[in-house]
């Protein structure tokens, strides 16, 4: 089912995020899980028919990846 | 539970800026001396309904000076939460109030940002892209508490700068006050 125009616009904006996140972390010694998580977000954005993709979900994915790697957020 | 006025015309409970309800709430804010707080926040936040401007705001030196990856992680998370706030098309819920803290954090790091055209009448013209009107994120219950918190946050110079402790503390304040 094609996305409604408004949903497509929202998804487009949310899918700006992975590119922006790479920019944010550029030049830092971030653990590999961070870049892997961003790769995962990018893949989610590129998946056909993705629905319900939200920036909150992306944040949770990023937090989860860092925590699973045994890193603290602070 | 915090309840917010709908900020997007597509939401149930949307209140137009020209409505009597909108005027009544802002009159209350003025009476209590908090109108300036909202004036400042609304004016500066309105332009960040645009994703690219939002990105640029988060990339300003105040936020990205540190090369520490954890500092950048905090920026990344703040950005995502703010993006979620701006693009949330659901019904009013507590997360929107919590995320307002992130927006205020962003405001603190961009004190020079001014939205052209909104200064003369920041409430009436605080229309951002995609039909979002930040000025309409008003609390319809317990608004007195939120007004008080906002006043305290601003008078203290804003929440802690881009630190997770500061953000968490502020979010707890919003959620549990």
CA angle, B91 as apex, B168 and B84 as ends, to 5°?
45
C-alpha B82 chain-centroid distance: 9
pLDDT bracket for residue B1 (50, 70, 90): very low
pLDDT of B108: 37
Write down the pLDDT at residue B84.
66
Provide, rounded to the nearest whole percent, the portion of chain A with pLDDT above 90: 22
User: What's the CA gap between B63 and A19, in Å, rounded?
Assistant: 18
Given a cut of 70, whether residue B105 has pLDDT beyond it is no
Least confident of A5-14, A25-34, B64-73, B124-133: B124-133
What's the whole-number mean pLDDT along residues B103-132? Answer: 30
Distance from CA of A8 to the nearest CA of B (A): 12
> Which one is predicted more confidently, B173 or A74?
A74
ipTM of the complex: 0.86
Q: Within 10 A of A52 (CB to CB), how many other CB atoms are there?
A: 7
CB contact under 8 A, B80 and A29: no
Query: Under 8 Å CB-to-CB from B148, ≥6 apart: which residues?
Result: B34
- Which one has a higher pLDDT value, B15 or A27? A27
Model pTM above 0.95? no
Both structure tokens of B71: 């500092």
Q: How many DSSP H helices and E strands does chain B contain?
A: 9, 2
Higher per-residue pLDDT: B118 or B89: B89
- Looking at the complex, report in whole angstroms how far the Cα of residue A12 sits from the nearest Cα belonging to chain B: 10
Q: Choosing among A56, A57, A69, which should be mutated to test the B contact, i.e. which has the most B CBs within 10 A?
A: A56
Question: What are the DSSP E strand ranges found in chain B?
Answer: 3-4, 139-141
Mean of the pLDDT values across residues A25-43?
A: 91
Max CA-CA distance within chain B?
Answer: 49
The pLDDT, as a whole number, for residue B54 is 65
């Amino acid at each position: 089912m094609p996305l409604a125009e408004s949903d497509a616009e929202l998804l487009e904006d949310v899918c700006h995020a992975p590119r922006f996140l790479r920019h944010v972390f550029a030049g830092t010694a971030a653990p590999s899980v961070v870049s892997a998580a961003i790769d995962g977000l990018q893949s989610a954005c590129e998946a056909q028919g993705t629905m319900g993709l939200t920036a909150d979900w992306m944040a949770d994915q990023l937090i989860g990846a860092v925590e699973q790697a045994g890193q603290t957020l602070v | 539970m915090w309840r917010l006025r709908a900020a997007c015309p597509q939401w149930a409970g949307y209140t137009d800026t020209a409505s009597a309800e909108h005027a009544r709430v802002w009159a209350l804010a003025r009476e209590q001396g908090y109108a300036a707080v909202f004036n400042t926040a609304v004016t500066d936040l309105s332009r960040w309904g645009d994703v690219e401007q939002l990105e640029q705001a988060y990339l300003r030196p105040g936020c990205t000076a540190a090369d520490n990856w954890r500092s950048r992680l905090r920026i990344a998370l703040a950005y995502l939460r703010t993006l979620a706030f701006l693009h949330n098309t659901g019904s009013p819920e507590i997360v929107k109030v919590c995320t307002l803290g992130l927006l205020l954090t962003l405001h603190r790091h961009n004190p020079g940002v001014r939205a052209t055209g909104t200064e003369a009448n920041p409430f009436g013209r605080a229309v951002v892209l995609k039909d979002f009107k930040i000025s309409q994120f008003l609390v319809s219950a317990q608004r007195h508490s939120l007004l008080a918190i906002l006043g305290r946050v601003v008078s203290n110079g804003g929440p802690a700068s881009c630190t997770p402790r500061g953000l968490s503390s502020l979010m707890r304040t919003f959620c549990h006050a």
